[in-house]
């Protein structure tokens, strides 16, 4: 586990979201929302790149910095070869460190950027992740035109991109403090419509290691936020934590459960996709921390390392979970 000695300040953040997300409970926290799932582009894939481009631009503008002042961007998405990221960074011309961790990508980008910022002076890094319902669903499951019925355990891939600008020399009121990268966990899940069950054991592995390494328990944090187990995976994680003796899981929440209103929106087990935790954290959580609602947050990015070919080959869907701790200044 990495405890950062040099400060890693969250200078700004940007959140871009699609139509369904802008109809959910967090709509007022997103910087840009669009009723057009193509974001004025001619394909869904280009739309995702456009969301990435805009989400980076928002972070730069909020911090009043130019892209060339940033050392590098750590970014990834769900499209094969992180192709949305490739085209999303064409215009900004920032050195790009491509990363991949499925839906854990956002936490991975924050953790790695924080760690990279330990090693040099006057550093600034952009981190982030994105997903798009329409570019992801047809790639991982079925063409959308089939209109396949989705099972109750299936999650809804969020259309959104989120960024965070981190600096080791500028100050802020929010800081990234620790990073615990996860290992690959195979829970033996084969159902492409139950990512929650695949990811929960990975989340548990990383969270329980963190509590042991730091001699803490769930009640030491205002918020233990997984992103994104959804309603199905959340239940499994809470059960696993209870079995481990962590009986109070009141502070455990999940980005996939927060982004939509399950009662009013047909999202089945909740949100998923790299863009889920990216928009919830870049939009809502950072804003809530600024207001003092949360002081000490664990973000656990959870990724189901789903691949269409290996599923056809009857392989299971392994998962990974990366943890970062984000705090208000008072904890420094």
CB of 267 to its own copies, least distance (A): 23
Q: Does 309 bind its own copies (CB under 8 A)?
A: yes
CB of 303 to its own copies, least distance (A): 8
CB of 89 to its own copies, least distance (A): 5
Instruction: Kindly identify the residues of this chain, within the stretch 229-258, that bind its own copies according to CB under 8 A.
Output: none
Pull the structure tokens for residue 64: 């009043």
> Position of tokens 């949100």?
271
CB of 6 to its own copies, least distance (A): 7
Choose among 107, 150, 61, 65: nearest CA to 276. 107
Applying CB under 8 A, the span of 1-9, 13-21, 24-32, 270-278 interacting with its own copies comes to: 1-9
Q: Using N-to-C axis directions, what is the helix angle for 44-62 and 133-140, rounded to 10°?
A: 140
Q: Does 143 bind its own copies (CB under 8 A)?
A: no
Q: Does 208 bind its own copies (CB under 8 A)?
A: no
Cα–Cα dist 8/313, whole Å: 43
Which helix (H) or strand (E) segment holds residue 253: the answer is: strand 252-254
Instruction: Kindly identify the residues of this chain, within the stretch 113-142, that bind its own copies according to CB under 8 A.
Output: 115-120, 139
Q: Does 269 bind its own copies (CB under 8 A)?
A: no
Cα–Cα dist 301/229, whole Å: 9
Q: Which phi and psi (to 5°) does residue 185 adopt? A: -120, 125
CB of 48 to its own copies, least distance (A): 11
Cα–Cα dist 44/314, whole Å: 29
Applying CB under 8 A, the span of 11-19, 94-102, 188-196, 215-223 interacting with its own copies comes to: 94-102
Kindly tell me which of 97 and 288 has the beta carbon lying closer to its own copies.
97
Choose among 249, 2, 265: nearest CA to 111. 2
Q: Does 165 bind its own copies (CB under 8 A)?
A: no
Q: Does 210 bind its own copies (CB under 8 A)?
A: no
Check: CB of residue 218 under 8 Å from CB of residue 241.
yes
279 to each of 15, 144, 150, 206, how far by Cα in Å? 5, 23, 24, 22
Cα–Cα dist 249/291, whole Å: 23
Kindly tell me which of 135 and 156 has the beta carbon lying closer to its own copies.
135
Cα–Cα dist 268/193, whole Å: 10
Which of 28, 81, 122, 171 is in the footprint of its own copies by CB under 8 A?
Answer: 81
Kindly tell me which of 115 and 170 has the beta carbon lying closer to its own copies.
115
Kindly tell me which of 93 and 291 has the beta carbon lying closer to its own copies.
93
Kindly tell me which of 37 and 98 has the beta carbon lying closer to its own copies.
98
Cα–Cα dist 272/255, whole Å: 8
Kindly calculate the radius of gyration of the chain based on its CA atoms and give it in whole angstroms: 18
Q: Does 38 bind its own copies (CB under 8 A)?
A: no
Which residue ranges make up the site for its own copies (CB under 8 A)? 2, 4-6, 43, 45-46, 72, 76, 79-83, 86-87, 89-90, 93-102, 108, 112, 115-120, 139, 180-184, 186, 305-310, 313, 315, 318, 320
């Amino acid at each position: 586990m990495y405890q950062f000695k040099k400060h890693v300040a969250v200078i700004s953040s940007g959140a871009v979201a699609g139509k369904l997300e802008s109809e959910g409970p967090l709509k007022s926290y997103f910087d840009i929302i669009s009723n057009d799932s193509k974001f004025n582009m001619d394909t869904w894939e280009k739309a995702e790149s456009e969301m990435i481009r805009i989400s980076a631009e928002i972070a730069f503008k909020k911090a009043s910095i130019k892209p060339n002042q940033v050392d590098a961007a750590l970014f990834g998405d769900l499209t094969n070869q992180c192709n949305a990221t490739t085209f999303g960074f064409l215009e900004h011309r920032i050195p790009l460190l491509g990363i991949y961790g499925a839906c854990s990508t956002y936490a991975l980008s924050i953790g790695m950027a924080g760690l990279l910022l330990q090693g040099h002076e006057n550093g600034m890094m952009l981190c982030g992740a994105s997903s798009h319902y329409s570019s992801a669903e047809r790639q991982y499951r079925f063409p959308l035109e089939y209109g396949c019925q989705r099972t109750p355990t299936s999650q809804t891939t969020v259309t959104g991109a989120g960024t965070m600008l981190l600096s080791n020399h500028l100050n802020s009121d929010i800081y990234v403090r620790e990073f615990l990268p996860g290992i690959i966990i195979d829970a033996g899940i084969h159902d492409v419509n139950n990512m929650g069950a695949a990811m929960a054991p990975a989340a548990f592995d990383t969270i329980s290691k963190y509590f042991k390494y730091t001699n803490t328990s769930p009640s030491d944090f205002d918020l233990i936020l997984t992103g994104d187990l959804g309603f199905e995976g959340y239940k499994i994680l809470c059960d696993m934590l209870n079995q481990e003796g962590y009986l109070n899981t009141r502070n455990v929440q999940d980005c996939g459960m927060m982004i939509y209103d399950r009662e009013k929106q047909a999202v089945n087990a909740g949100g998923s996709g790299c863009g889920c935790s990216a928009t919830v954290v870049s939009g809502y959580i950072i804003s809530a921390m600024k207001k003092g609602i949360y002081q000490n947050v664990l973000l656990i990015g959870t990724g189901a390392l789903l691949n269409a070919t290996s599923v056809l080959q009857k392989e299971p869907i392994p998962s990974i979970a990366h943890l970062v701790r984000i705090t208000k200044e008072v904890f420094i």
